Structure 1
Amino acid sequence: MRAFVVQARECGGVREVDSPTPGPGQVAIDVRRAGVCGTDVSLYFGDDERIRRARSHHPLRLGHEWAGVVSALGPGVEASWLGRRVTGDTMIGCGHCERCRSGFHHLCEDRYEVGVRRDWPGALAERFVMPVDSLFVLPESVTWEMGALVEPGANAYRAVHATQAPPGARVLVIGPGTIGLLCAWFADAAGLDVDIVGVTKPSLDFAREVGIGRASTIEDLPETEWDAVIDASTGADAPALAVRSVRPGGRVVLIGIAEQPSEVDTRVLVRKEATATGVLGGSLGLQATIDAYASGAVNPLPLISRTVGLEDLDALFAAGMPQVEGRGPKTLVDPTRH
């Protein structure tokens, strides 16, 4: 089968590889759509230390945002799974440690992460393997494109949920990228009053085009405080902005990860008696996200700027996955496209 393989730093391409055979409790997935995110770009450009932190090795097989159809079953898997439309959990815990048994498998020290951690082959391929216990069924109302956006949507859902903000509360989202826009939409669906702040005019213009009326630069940000602030950016200075911007007694949710360490004056947190919490991954929000897409409460499709084939990826990765002017931030891959 065909798969996109990163042979070495900044060196990738489509290769013919062995088609995977599912083991006990596993299924093979024929990929219909896969998304490319910042983690994939980071791994493509990643140095040896970046790859070691992921406990992976070259050659890399990227891709953790996906939707597809179950095409083969491993031993012990019920026959009813064959042919189902599915997406799945990126995080695969060991299933035995205290974190897994407590419902926090996404924090398991020995977890695999599809296409990211411990060399689990990802979905930028025609086919890959998943544990059946990590699958979520997609209803017909959720298109393949929507299915590939469930994983980032679940990150956003969890970030909004973590604000604990009641309907009518004022929420500031920092970063109008994929996760930030999804946060704004999920917040709006929850009845929250949303502002979004960013750096570049095109990204803010796009935010306004997709229904986020109050989108501004940091310089134009109103002199006020919000009930909750979500940092969905990759800016090292964004967490400090979030802490400054939250009201006393409010909540700061950190889901963006910067390349450089962030500095926060904890004295501000103490004096405001504010709560700061981190969110790692969408594992605990996948079904809620599928339900929101299926009902129409959240429509992620405006995020998609283009759909490309596997052969197009190396040039796009090498260019840093540039955004199409005037369109959304998300690139999808159709592995059936030649």
Structure 2
Amino acid sequence: MRAFVLTGPGTYEVQDIPEPVAAPGEVVIDVERVGVCGTDMEFFTGEMAYLHQGHSSFPMRLGHEWSGLVRSVGAGVGREWLGRRVTGDTMIGCGDCRRCLRRRGHVCEKRREVGVRDGQPGALAEQLAVPASSLHPLPDSVDATLGALVEPGGNALRAAQAASADRNERVLVLGPGSIGLLVAMFARAGGADVHIMGKEQSSLDFAGTLGFERLWREDTLPDLPFDSIVDASNAPHLPALALELVEPGGRIVCIGLAGEPSRIDTRTLALKDVTAVGLLSASPALDATIAAYADGSVDPRPLVAATVGLGQVGAVLAGERPRGARAGPKIHVDPRNIAG
């Protein structure tokens, strides 16, 4: 099969490699769609922390936002999975430790991460082998594009839930990238009054096409009480700004990662009685995200600007926009696209 292999920082190949075989407890997926995300780009540049912490190494196969059809099953896996459209959890815990037994496998110390940590190749290939226990079935109303948006959507839904983004709440989302816009969509679906702050006017303009009207830059933010603020940016100064702006008794949620440490004044945190939440992983919210996509309460398909083949992935990771791409922030890959 064909697979995109990152051989080092900024170097890559589309290789012909052996097709995976389903081991006991595993399935093999015919991959239909894969999302490219900021984590993939950090691996491409060599900046991803896992590379320096010994969790990941080159060569590696990226791709953790995916959907596809179950092609084959290994021993111990029910044949009812065959032919089903599915997506899968990125985080695969050991299953035996204290965290896993408490349903916190996404922070298991020994966890594997599809397309991220060593030992679990990703979905930027025509086929993918994953544990059957990580699968989440997709209903007919959730197509391949939506299926590959479940993983980022699960992260965003958790952020919206952590912000208590429901009716009568005013929520400010910092950063109108893929995750920030998904957070805004889920918060809006819950009835919150959603505001979005961005840096680039083009990103704010795109948010406007999604029906968001309260769009700001840092120097134009209105003097309003924000009950919750979600930092979905990579700007190191914004967590401190969030703490400054949030209402006493409110909540700040950190889901974006900066390239350097962010600092906040914990005296302000305490004296304002603010709850601060950090989030890793979509795992606890995957099924709820699928349900929201299935019933149409959230439709993130406009976020996808283009769908390319494996041969174009390197250029996308290097920051190039595909020819003819629309305005959205997300690029998808169809590994079956021979022309790409």
Instruction: Indicate if the aligned counterparts of 2:27 and 2:131 stay in contact, CA closer than 8 A.
Output: yes
Q: CA deviation at 1:241?
A: 1.3
1:67 aligns with 2:67: yes
What SS class does the counterpart of residue 276 from structure 1 fall into? strand
Distance in 1 (alpha carbons) for counterparts of 2:195 and 2:313? 34
Distance in 1 (alpha carbons) for counterparts of 2:296 and 2:8? 41
Superposed, 1:216-255 pairs within 5 Å as: 216-255=216-255
Partner of 2:270: 270
Instruction: Indicate if the aligned counterparts of 1:202 and 1:326 stay in contact, CA closer than 8 A.
Output: no
Q: 1:240 to 1:47 in 2, by over 3 A?
A: closer
**Number of residue pairs aligned between Structure 1 and Structure 2:** 338
Q: CA deviation at 1:151?
A: 0.3
Distance in 2 (alpha carbons) for counterparts of 1:224 and 1:49? 37
What SS class does the counterpart of residue 219 from structure 1 fall into? helix
Identity fraction in percent: 50
Superposed, 1:307-322 pairs within 5 Å as: 307-319=307-319
Q: CA deviation at 1:13?
A: 2.0
Distance in 1 (alpha carbons) for counterparts of 2:194 and 2:316? 33
Distance in 1 (alpha carbons) for counterparts of 2:160 and 2:324? 27
Residues 82-91 or 318-327, more deviating: 318-327
Residues 50-59 or 224-233, more deviating: 50-59
Q: CA deviation at 1:57?
A: 1.4
Residues 163-172 or 60-69, more deviating: 163-172
Cα RMSD for the two superposed structures: 1.5
Distance in 1 (alpha carbons) for counterparts of 2:53 and 2:89? 20
Q: 1:48 to 1:302 in 2, by over 3 A?
A: closer
Residues 84-93 or 17-26, more deviating: 17-26
Distance in 2 (alpha carbons) for counterparts of 1:243 and 1:264? 7
Instruction: Indicate if the aligned counterparts of 1:227 and 1:250 stay in contact, CA closer than 8 A.
Output: yes
Distance in 1 (alpha carbons) for counterparts of 2:54 and 2:202? 33
Letter in 1 for 2:8: A
Letter in 1 for 2:144: W
Instruction: Indicate if the aligned counterparts of 2:165 and 2:187 stay in contact, CA closer than 8 A.
Output: no
Letter in 1 for 2:152: P
What SS class does the counterpart of residue 259 from structure 2 fall into? coil
1:96 aligns with 2:96: yes
Partner of 2:297: 297
Q: 1:137 to 1:50 in 2, by over 3 A?
A: closer
Distance in 1 (alpha carbons) for counterparts of 2:87 and 2:75? 20
Letter in 2 for 1:84: R
Distance in 1 (alpha carbons) for counterparts of 2:54 and 2:324? 29
Partner of 1:280: 280
Q: Please, what TM-score do these two structures have when normalized by structure 1? A: 0.97
Instruction: Indicate if the aligned counterparts of 2:173 and 2:196 stay in contact, CA closer than 8 A.
Output: yes
Q: Please, what TM-score do these two structures have when normalized by structure 2? A: 0.96
Q: CA deviation at 1:31?
A: 0.3
Distance in 2 (alpha carbons) for counterparts of 1:8 and 1:165? 41
Instruction: Indicate if the aligned counterparts of 2:50 and 2:56 stay in contact, CA closer than 8 A.
Output: no
Cα deviation per residue 1:23-65 (whole Å; 9 max; x = unaligned)? 1110001100000000000011115965133611110100000
Distance in 1 (alpha carbons) for counterparts of 2:337 and 2:69? 16
What SS class does the counterpart of residue 106 from structure 1 fall into? helix
1:138 aligns with 2:138: yes
Distance in 2 (alpha carbons) for counterparts of 1:76 and 1:250? 48
User: Unpaired segments of 5 or more residues in structure 2?
Assistant: none
Distance in 2 (alpha carbons) for counterparts of 1:307 and 1:53? 32
Instruction: Indicate if the aligned counterparts of 1:323 and 1:329 stay in contact, CA closer than 8 A.
Output: no
Partner of 1:208: 208
Instruction: Indicate if the aligned counterparts of 1:176 and 1:197 stay in contact, CA closer than 8 A.
Output: yes
Q: CA deviation at 1:164?
A: 2.3
Distance in 2 (alpha carbons) for counterparts of 1:296 and 1:165? 18
Cα deviation per residue 1:104-154 (whole Å; 9 max; x = unaligned)? 000001000100012310001100111111100000100100000000000
